[in-house]
Structure 1
Amino acid sequence: MKATLVCTLFSLLVLAAVFSTSQAAAASDCEDPNAFYNTCGSACPPSCQKKQTGCIDVCVPSCACKADYIFDEDTEKCVEKTSC
Structure 2
Amino acid sequence: MKLLVTGGAGFIGSNFVHYWLKNHPEDEIIVFDLLTYAGHIQSLKDVLDGLDKMSGDEQGDAISSISGKNIQFIRGDITDASFVAI
TM range (shorter): under 0.3
Q: TM-score, normalised by structure 1?
A: 0.21
Which fold has the larger relative contact order, with Cα–Cα distance below 8 Å and residues 6 or more apart in sequence? 2
